[in-house]
Amino acid sequence: MVNYQIKYYKLIRINLFLFILLVFFTNCERFRIDQNSKNQTMEMFINDIKSDMGLNEAELLNPPVGPSWTKSAFIVMGNAARGDATPYWWTPDNLEFKSSKIWNAITPWFVLFAGNNHTATNTRVKISNIGLFILEKSTKSWKKVNTNIANPTWAGNWDFNASIKNVGPATPRTEFDGGISYKLNDAFNAIHGGMMKFEINGEDIDAVFARLTTQLVLDDPMGPDDRSKAQLLMSVGVDYYSSMNVKVADYAPMNYNPGVGGSRFGLVNENSRAHYFATIDVVSTNVKSSDYLKSGASITMPLLDFESNPPPCD
């Protein structure tokens, strides 16, 4: 009887040990699969960012002749939030804006443009999940700038062809999920919008990253679904301001902000799609000239450094 009990308890211990081993290796395999999935997701995320800093996905409808953004993503001031990083052709009367003084405000923006083949008249573009991030030099960590807001706070119809001017208000509509949608006017003028300014430490910037999400939705749900006839393209970008109190009018005779930069114009789809901008050093990005660049300084982050410390993928 004693020998039987000993054998019985030995068998229980062996089975328990085998069960523990099974649980351990099963969890290891799950961890490996989860890790591989996360790695694949991050790789896709990085590739999408690099693509969005490349060439536009379609030709724009009646764009101006000359500006690089009509063809591709671009970087102007990049990681350098300072006046001498503004381009040489941006010449405000107040020369303080061209000095080495640090700029301490920032804002994200977007431009919605029709493509050459756009014919839809019952289609809007929903915009949501705007995110603006700064990689801090001091902490090597990404900090989200717009922590309490994710939708545009302003937008207007703009004529970018002859001269940059606002030709009327846009028509925002709040969608059922909280996103804000816009519809081009009858002339198919571009829609330019964004958020308010946010205060930052302009000396503590290693990289800038912005994102937003778009989706085609119907203007009149009871009307014809012509989203297949839509060719609408979105660019997301970022501007610095020298301070929270400065307005574009203060840059006279310049009537625009020189900008951190902007992404390519990417097609808006019936399914939700993210658009990205990042101050990274990629061959296809058009980098502007400035006194700061001519001094030998850099305004972009090396791609390998960006890949080793990417922004949040959410």
Give the Cα-Cα-Cα angle 147, 53, 165 (nearest 5 degrees).
Answer: 75
Residue 164's pLDDT is what? 62
Q: What mean pLDDT, rounded, does the chain reach?
A: 89
Distance CA 60, CA 107 (A): 25
Instruction: Kindly tell me if the per-residue pLDDT of 209 is higher than 90.
Output: yes
Q: Does residue 265 lie within any of the structural domains?
A: yes
Instruction: Kindly tell me if the per-residue pLDDT of 25 is higher than 60.
Output: no
Domain count, the chain: 1
Burial 123-132 (b: 16+ CB within 10 A, else e): bbbbbbebbb
Residue 40's pLDDT is what? 74
Distance CA 232, CA 151 (A): 19
Q: Does residue 237 lie within any of the structural domains?
A: yes
Distance CA 115, CA 165 (A): 20
Residue 215's pLDDT is what? 98
pLDDT tens digits, 248-275? 999 999 988 999 999 999 999 999 999 9
Q: Does residue 36 lie within any of the structural domains?
A: no
pLDDT tens digits, 32-90? 545 455 567 899 999 999 999 999 999 999 998 888 999 999 999 999 999 999 999 99
Instruction: Kindly tell me if the per-residue pLDDT of 203 is higher than 80.
Output: yes
Range of the domain at 191: 53-308
CB atoms within 10 A of CB 297: 15
| Three-state SS at 292 | helix
Q: Which amino acid is at 225?
A: D
Q: Does residue 207 lie within any of the structural domains?
A: yes
Q: Does residue 86 lie within any of the structural domains?
A: yes
Q: Does residue 1 lie within any of the structural domains?
A: no
Which residues partner with 302 through β-bridges? 281
Residue 288's pLDDT is what? 72
Q: Does residue 186 lie within any of the structural domains?
A: yes
Contact 216, 124 (CB under 8 A): yes
What is the pTM for the complete model shown? 0.86
Q: Does residue 18 lie within any of the structural domains?
A: no
